[in-house]
Amino acid sequence: MRKQCILHDWNDEECVRILKKCKEAISKKGKEGKVIIIDMVMDNEVKDEEYVETQLFFDMLMMVLVKGKERNEKEWVRLFSSVGFNNYTITPVLGSRSLIQIFS
């Protein structure tokens, strides 16, 4: 089953619970274990007005419809660190979405 852009539906506390379960699931893989997330990473450095408007629109949509929000890189890293993930990569792909990989 393919899921993407799921974590932005949840607040930080719920994301931590989800990520803890992911960490438990990959713990048997050792250093080879990783979690792959496809979600938006808000970028404060982007100068393209339409891109910024899109990011803000999605952030407001998440706040109104569900408990979630769009996060910037620092907010993502804070979530990863709180669960005990030591390393991550973020690769922009698929328009406003990024491929986020987190490692034990």
Q: For residue 65, give the CATH number of its domain.
A: 3.40.50.150
Asked if the structure places residue 98 within a domain, the reply is yes
With respect to residue 30, please indicate whether it lies within any of the assigned structural domains.
Answer: yes
Quick one: which of 4, 25, 27, 6 has its CA closest to 15?
Answer: 6
Specify if 40 maps to a domain: yes
Determine, yes or no, domain membership for 58: yes
- For residue 41, the model assigns a pLDDT of 84
How many whole angstroms separate alpha carbon 73 and alpha carbon 65? 23
Q: Which residues are catalytic?
A: 8
Residue 39 lies in a domain: yes
20 domain residue, yes or no: yes
Rounded to the nearest integer, the mean pLDDT of the chain is 80
Number of domains in the chain: 1
Can you give the pLDDT at residue 89?
Answer: 94
* Mean pLDDT, residues 80-89 taken together: 92
Q: Determine the structural domain holding residue 25 and report its residue range.
A: 7-103
* 2, part of any domain: no
- Asked if 70 and 42 touch (Cβ cutoff 8 Å), the reply is yes
Q: Please report whether residue 1 resides in a domain.
A: no
Confidence of residue 55 (pLDDT cuts 50, 70, 90): low
pLDDT reported for residue 42 = 76
CA distance 91 to 100: 6
